[in-house]
């Protein structure tokens, strides 16, 4: 079994906003999580395209962002548990007016979990969410 990846040291020059958002609330993941929880490391995120998405919820465009003419790509780092549900999220690439809408949609996505040696495991996944006014 691979050793856990340590948390990266804080970098004062790092400009990305890293807001922690916990989607884990009572009843969110009906089965208990038995697999070891993967450590968050922005450099070792798995691209969402590497997993099978079984339910993808589109984002709702925030009115304030639409009125301000804000669009672009927001990226969410999502912890997918052994059951394929998103149980924790952090912003990997932030646009403040779009962040909450991106996290609100990603928290409802479902994935086929990664399987290692026949056992489903939790993993951090990089999920890009595009907002376009066109």
Spatial separation of the C-alpha atoms in residues 112 and 94, rounded to whole Å: 26
Residue 101 has a pLDDT of 97
Q: Give pLDDT tens digits for 51-105.
A: 889 999 999 999 999 999 999 999 999 988 888 999 989 999 999 999 999 999 9
Of residues 17 and 28, the one with the higher pLDDT is 28
Q: Give pLDDT tens digits for 40-59.
A: 555 556 666 678 899 999 99
Domains of the chain and CATH, by start = 20-26+34-131 (3.30.2420.10)
pTM: 0.68
Spatial separation of the C-alpha atoms in residues 134 and 112, rounded to whole Å: 32
Q: What is the CA radius of gyration of the chain?
A: 15
């Amino acid at each position: 079994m691979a050793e856990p990846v340590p948390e990266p040291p804080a970098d004062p020059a790092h400009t990305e906003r890293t807001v922690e958002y916990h989607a884990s609330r009572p009843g969110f993941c009906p089965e208990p999580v038995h697999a070891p929880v993967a450590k968050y490391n922005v450099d070792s995120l798995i691209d969402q395209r590497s997993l099978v998405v079984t339910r993808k919820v589109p984002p709702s465009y925030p009115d304030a962002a639409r009125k301000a003419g804000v669009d672009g790509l927001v990226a969410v780092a999502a912890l997918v548990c052994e059951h394929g549900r998103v149980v924790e999220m952090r912003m990997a690439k932030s646009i403040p007016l779009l962040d909450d809408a991106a996290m609100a949609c990603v928290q409802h996505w479902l994935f086929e979990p990664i399987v290692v040696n026949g056992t489903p495991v939790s993993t951090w996944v990089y999920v890009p969410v595009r907002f376009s006014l066109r």
